[in-house]
């Protein structure tokens, strides 16, 4: 007859596997008091203290003997005996029959083993714990023993997690560590474990963010910074984070075709910025003097082994604000190989990451068109091994004083060099009077050279006379030569009236460039007329094509153009973008117009999106212009663009564009638009940042707006499901479904059905899940929505996989992949690829699944969805481990 005593799972006695009642609470206490010291004599007085503390009953010894007699009868024939000896009692038990002592033996054994074996032993030890130890025995002595046992358990579990982290089991630990960290917010060891798990699971930005959370808690509650070990871990992760490979980026614009008259400046740069000699050089000179051409010419011929970076800081853009340092840093992080998922949300953390990634590298960083020292300083690489080349109309004396920068002045060209540059443009030397009017400015020389080439029959003397007659009043900036203004004026007078008007209107475009349709909206002319005007401006060198069909201006040219801009042009352009964005969104997701504002009247050419591909291409191409308009047009435009484009930016996984757009709209509307709050919350959730606050505010403000109730509740449900709170997820998704049905929103109803199906599948109710998901697929088919249909089939596949029906699971996952794969629905595709790989694994084994896991992981790294990346990485590791056994 075998006996087993469980003290770590309540207080149980099992004889031959059958649970036996050891008696009432005091009798159980007697049993426990003997079991904690098996085979050893417990003196009677001590036993009485353990059972009754300082309040024993009358005739306590007699009562104790009664309890002992009853326990002997329970244990008869089991090999466990209670004997009286040396003034007390002892309970002898078979070896390993008490779970408490098995636990302690295993923990001791683990200390003498290598890490891999120790982890397995500790997992066996901790598996003995099921509920609260000694539960049901409530005495002061039992409470003290319980606290001791819980401390032993915590120490063993801490050791287990450390060993599991050392063996790379990061993803699976993320199921438990966030809960533990929330329960122990001031425990620095738990914080370190979670940070290591997040980093190892491919979520370095979340690891760095958690450090900031812990640091804030320690300062708020204890008034102290984190200890040296946690600080060292933070530094280590900050250094290692985000880069899959140390690229040698070469992100320079196209080199200029020629450079005239700058030999002295080139030699000066050669001396200052030789590779391996860290320095900062500032090319300083007036607008139009050719600083950027000089910088790019030198940068293209320089050799820096770890790469060359460039960013236009737009310091003197007449319309848009200078580029903030954190926006410039994101350009650099992308060039350095940082995946979107690894870019921290906070600007300060982005800059810190950039600084860490430049340590020890020999880079050239070109900071073009800098406004002031404050804009430049955060962008300087650290570590003393890189060179920086800055161009600015200011001398940046602060940079000289604080960082030892050297200024290289870029003067205007003398008459000889001006004539050479003019000849390089047109192939022949220009009229001296005409060249003289350009005042040695390469920009003016280029514009007049273009005019000369375009009108070869106009005598040079006539053109020179036109320039001389132009207005010569100084510009407000004070740094433009009056001759340059004269050149602009003369060039504009030579344009047709339509092109001259287009030139003036382009001065208000806030984005980096404008498409033909946007220019047509600005000028309120047909597309063909806009195209003709742009071609004429391009021929005059007043605009250039940054990409086929997209036009931009030099900032000085734009400044001159903007002085005569017609009132309301920016509003007309923003109205055009709102209309086209709505049309594109209707084509992209025709089933949910209720989630978007009504399509506004057309302003300018209304595009004909004959296919969803056309709509997608427009939304991809116009992201930068949309963000610029959201910042500079009216508040209503920012809100409209946020609501119209949120679905595309989300499912196409343009995560940081979505965050920028929705955050701008929320800030400009002072958080009063519930839809914008929902979209901001959704964008934050996608990158793993806290989002429920925005979503809850939106839901609270929804009132009778059933569309907003549906959107907010859906997002809250997804958030709850992601963190494993199935009850809350169920409540929110049921509310979302109710709102969709009451309002007749069939597309939103289908979304709610698939969300509810996933929740019920996870809760172990497959029949209900299948019914909901089948209905979702029916609705999606009726609506001809392939993405929604793919979501339904994918969730059905997961449900069948949980039921063990591998064939049907694989069938549904394959259907889903065919519906959403290979296109712009990258966020949906990633989840489906992960699930499809799992179905292949279950059906055909790990070797067949490996390429599918790798494809999912590559897509996840490319677009930055952290949860799905962790899934893909963990699954790939498990499959490889299975094959290596």
pLDDT of 483 > 50? The answer is no
Residue ranges of domains in the chain, CATH in brackets:
1-167 (1.10.10.10), 263-409 (3.40.50.300), 415-507+514-563 (no CATH), 574-806 (1.25.40.10)
pLDDT of 264 > 50? The answer is yes
Most confident of 227-241, 246-260, 343-357, 721-735: 721-735
The pLDDT mean for the chain works out to 84
Q: Are 354 and 377 in contact (CB under 8 A)?
A: no
Taking residues 281-299, what's their average pLDDT? 88
pLDDT by residue (tens digit) across 413-445? 888 898 899 888 887 766 787 787 776 778 878
Q: What percent of the chain lies above the pLDDT cut of 90?
A: 29
Taking residues 115-121, what's their average pLDDT? 83
Confidence of residue 533 (pLDDT cuts 50, 70, 90): very high
Whats the size of the chain, residue-wise?
Answer: 885
The pLDDT score that the predictor gives to residue 439 is 66
210 exposed, middle or buried (CB, 10 Å; 0-12, 13-18, 19+)? buried
Q: How far apart are CA 119 and CA 334, in angstroms?
A: 39
pLDDT by residue (tens digit) across 371-414? 889 999 999 998 788 999 999 877 788 898 889 899 998 888 88
The pLDDT score that the predictor gives to residue 480 is 38
pLDDT of 46 > 80? The answer is yes
**Region class of 17: left (phi > 0), else alpha (psi between -120 and 50), else beta:** left
Residue appearing with tokens 């499912």:
651
pLDDT of 588 > 80? The answer is yes
Q: Are 706 and 695 in contact (CB under 8 A)?
A: no
Confidence of residue 153 (pLDDT cuts 50, 70, 90): confident
| C-alpha triplet 746, 750, 751: angle, nearest 5° | 120
Q: How far apart are CA 389 and CA 366, in angstroms?
A: 5
Confidence of residue 475 (pLDDT cuts 50, 70, 90): very low
pLDDT by residue (tens digit) across 484-521? 665 567 567 768 888 888 998 998 888 888 999 999 99
DSSP 98: B
Helix (H, G, I), strand (E, B) or coil at 822: coil
Q: How far apart are CA 444 and CA 288, in angstroms?
A: 7
Counting Cα atoms < 13 Å in the Cβ hemisphere of 392 gives 26
Counting Cα atoms < 13 Å in the Cβ hemisphere of 177 gives 28
Most confident of 537-546, 706-715, 842-851, 875-884: 706-715
Residues facing 640 on adjacent strands: none
Q: Are 512 and 467 in contact (CB under 8 A)?
A: no
pLDDT of 481 > 60? The answer is no
Find the range with the poorest average confidence among 9-23, 278-292, 367-381, 618-632: 9-23
The pLDDT score that the predictor gives to residue 611 is 83
Confidence of residue 754 (pLDDT cuts 50, 70, 90): very high
Helix 826-844 vs helix 866-884: crossing angle, to nearest 10: 20
The pLDDT score that the predictor gives to residue 604 is 84
pLDDT of 738 > 90? The answer is yes
The pLDDT score that the predictor gives to residue 381 is 92
Nearest residue to 416 via CA among 263, 628, 211: 263
pLDDT by residue (tens digit) across 799-817? 998 888 999 999 999 999 9
Q: What percent of the chain lies above the pLDDT cut of 70?
A: 92
- Does 639 or 244 have the greater pLDDT score? 639
pLDDT by residue (tens digit) across 162-202? 888 887 777 678 768 888 888 888 889 999 999 888 887 76
Q: Are 44 and 61 in contact (CB under 8 A)?
A: yes
pLDDT of 474 > 60? The answer is no
CB atoms within 10 A of CB 57: 12
Helix (H, G, I), strand (E, B) or coil at 514: strand
Find the range with the poorest average confidence among 239-248, 354-363, 632-641: 239-248
The pLDDT score that the predictor gives to residue 16 is 67
Confidence of residue 707 (pLDDT cuts 50, 70, 90): very high
Taking residues 710-724, what's their average pLDDT? 91
The pLDDT score that the predictor gives to residue 477 is 28
Q: How far apart are CA 751 and CA 737, in angstroms?
A: 8
Taking residues 853-868, what's their average pLDDT? 83
Q: Are 749 and 737 in contact (CB under 8 A)?
A: yes
Confidence of residue 479 (pLDDT cuts 50, 70, 90): very low
Sign of dihedral through CA atoms 8, 13, 14, 15? positive
The pLDDT score that the predictor gives to residue 467 is 63
Confidence of residue 564 (pLDDT cuts 50, 70, 90): low
- Does 478 or 467 have the greater pLDDT score? 467
pLDDT by residue (tens digit) across 653-699? 888 899 999 999 999 998 889 999 999 999 888 877 788 899 999 99
Residue appearing with tokens 């007449």:
318
The pLDDT score that the predictor gives to residue 284 is 87
The pLDDT score that the predictor gives to residue 685 is 84
| C-alpha triplet 644, 646, 647: angle, nearest 5° | 100
Taking residues 593-599, what's their average pLDDT? 92
Q: Are 339 and 285 in contact (CB under 8 A)?
A: no
Confidence of residue 473 (pLDDT cuts 50, 70, 90): very low
């Amino acid at each position: 007859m075998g006996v087993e005593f469980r003290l770590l799972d309540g207080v149980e006695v099992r004889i031959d596997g059958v649970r036996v009642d050891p008696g009432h609470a005091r009798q159980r206490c007697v049993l426990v008091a003997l079991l904690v010291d098996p085979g050893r004599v417990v003196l009677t007085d001590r036993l009485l203290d353990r059972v009754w503390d300082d309040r024993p009953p009358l005739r306590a010894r007699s009562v104790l003997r009664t309890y002992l007699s009853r326990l002997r009868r329970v244990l008869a024939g089991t090999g466990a005996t209670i004997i009286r000896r040396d003034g007390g009692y002892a309970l002898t038990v078979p070896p390993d029959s008490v779970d408490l002592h098995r636990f302690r033996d295993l923990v001791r054994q683990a200390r003498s083993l290598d890490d891999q074996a120790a982890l397995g032993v500790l997992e066996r030890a901790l598996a003995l714990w099921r509920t609260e130890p000694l539960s049901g025995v409530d005495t002061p002595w039992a409470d003290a023993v319980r606290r001791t046992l819980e401390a032993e358990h915590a120490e063993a579990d801490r050791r287990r997690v450390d060993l599991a982290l050392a063996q790379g089991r990061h993803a699976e630990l993320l199921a438990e560590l966030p809960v533990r960290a929330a329960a122990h917010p001031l425990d620095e060891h738990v914080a370190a474990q979670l940070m290591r798990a997040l980093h190892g699971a491919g979520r370095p930005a979340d690891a760095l963010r958690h450090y900031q959370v812990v640091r804030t808690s320690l300062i708020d509650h204890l008034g102290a910074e984190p200890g040296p070990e946690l600080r060292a871990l933070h530094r280590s992760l900050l250094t290692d984070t985000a880069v899959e490979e140390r690229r040698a980026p070469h992100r320079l614009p196209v080199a200029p075709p020629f450079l005239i008259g700058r030999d002295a400046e080139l030699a000066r740069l050669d001396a200052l910025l030789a590779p391996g000699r860290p320095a900062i050089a500032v090319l300083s000179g007036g607008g139009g003097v050719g600083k950027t051409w000089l910088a790019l010419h030198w940068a293209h011929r320089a050799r820096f082994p770890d790469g060359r970076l460039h960013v236009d800081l737009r310091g003197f853009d007449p319309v848009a604000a200078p580029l903030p340092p954190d926006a410039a840093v994101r350009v650099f992080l992308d060039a350095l190989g940082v995946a979107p998922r690894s870019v921290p949300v906070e600007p300060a953390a982005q800059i810190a990451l950039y600084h860490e990634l430049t340590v020890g590298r020999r880079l050239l960083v070109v900071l073009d068109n800098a406004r002031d020292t404050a804009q430049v300083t955060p962008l300087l690489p650290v570590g003393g091994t890189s060179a920086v080349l800055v161009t600015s109309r200011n001398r940046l004396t602060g940079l000289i004083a604080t960082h030892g920068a050297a200024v290289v002045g870029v003067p205007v060209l003398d008459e000889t060099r001006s004539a050479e540059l003019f000849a390089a443009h047109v192939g022949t030397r220009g009229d001296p009077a005409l060249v003289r009017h350009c005042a040695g400015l390469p920009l003016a020389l280029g514009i007049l050279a273009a005019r000369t080439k375009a009108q070869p029959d106009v005598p040079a003397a006539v053109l020179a006379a036109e320039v001389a007659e132009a207005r010569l009043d100084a510009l407000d900036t004070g740094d433009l030569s009056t001759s340059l203004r004269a050149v602009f004026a003369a060039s504009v007078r030579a344009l047709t009236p339509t092109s001259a008007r287009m030139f003036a209107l382009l001065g208000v475009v806030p984005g980096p460039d404008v498409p033909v349709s946007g220019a047509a909206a600005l000028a309120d002319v047909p597309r063909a007329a806009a195209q003709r005007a742009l071609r004429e401006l391009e021929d005059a060198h007043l605009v250039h094509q940054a990409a086929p069909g997209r036009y931009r201006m030099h900032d000085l040219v734009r400044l001159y153009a903007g002085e005569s801009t017609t009132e309301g042009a920016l509003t007309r352009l923003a109205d055009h973008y709102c209309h086209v964005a709505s049309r594109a969104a209707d084509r992209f997701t025709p089933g949910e117009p209720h989630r978007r504002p009504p399509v506004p009247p057309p302003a300018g050419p209304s595009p004909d999106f004959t296919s969803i591909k056309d709509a997608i291409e427009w939304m991809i191409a116009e992201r930068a212009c949309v963000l610029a308009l959201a910042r500079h047009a009216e508040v209503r435009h920012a809100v409209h663009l946020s609501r119209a484009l949120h679905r595309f930016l989300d499912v196409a996984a343009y995560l940081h564009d979505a965050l920028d757009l929705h955050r701008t709209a929320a800030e400009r509307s002072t958080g009063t638009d519930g839809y914008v709050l929902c979209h901001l919350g959704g964008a934050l959730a996608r990158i793993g940042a806290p989002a429920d606050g925005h979503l809850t505010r939106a839901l609270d403000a929804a009132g009778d707006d059933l569309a907003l109730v549906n959107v907010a509740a859906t997002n809250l449900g997804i958030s709850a499901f992601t963190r494993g709170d199935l009850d809350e997820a169920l409540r929110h998704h049921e509310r979302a479904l109710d709102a969709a049905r009451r309002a007749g929103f069939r597309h939103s109803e289908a979304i709610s059905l698939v969300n509810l199906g996933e929740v019920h599948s996870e809760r172990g109710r497959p029949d209900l899940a299948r019914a909901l998901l089948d209905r979702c697929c029916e609705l999606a088919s009726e609506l001809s929505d392939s993405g929604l249909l793919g979501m339904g089939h994918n969730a059905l596949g997961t449900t069948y996989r949980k039921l063990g029906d591998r064939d049907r699971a694989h069938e549904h996952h394959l259907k889903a992949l065919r519906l959403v794969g290979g296109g712009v629905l990258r966020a949906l595709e990633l989840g489906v690829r992960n699930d499809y790989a799992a179905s292949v694994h279950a059906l055909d084994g790990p070797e067949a699944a490996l390429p599918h896991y790798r494809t999912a992981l590559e897509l996840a790294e490319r677009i930055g969805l952290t949860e799905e990346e962790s899934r893909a990485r963990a699954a790939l590791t498990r499959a490889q481990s299975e094959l290596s056994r």
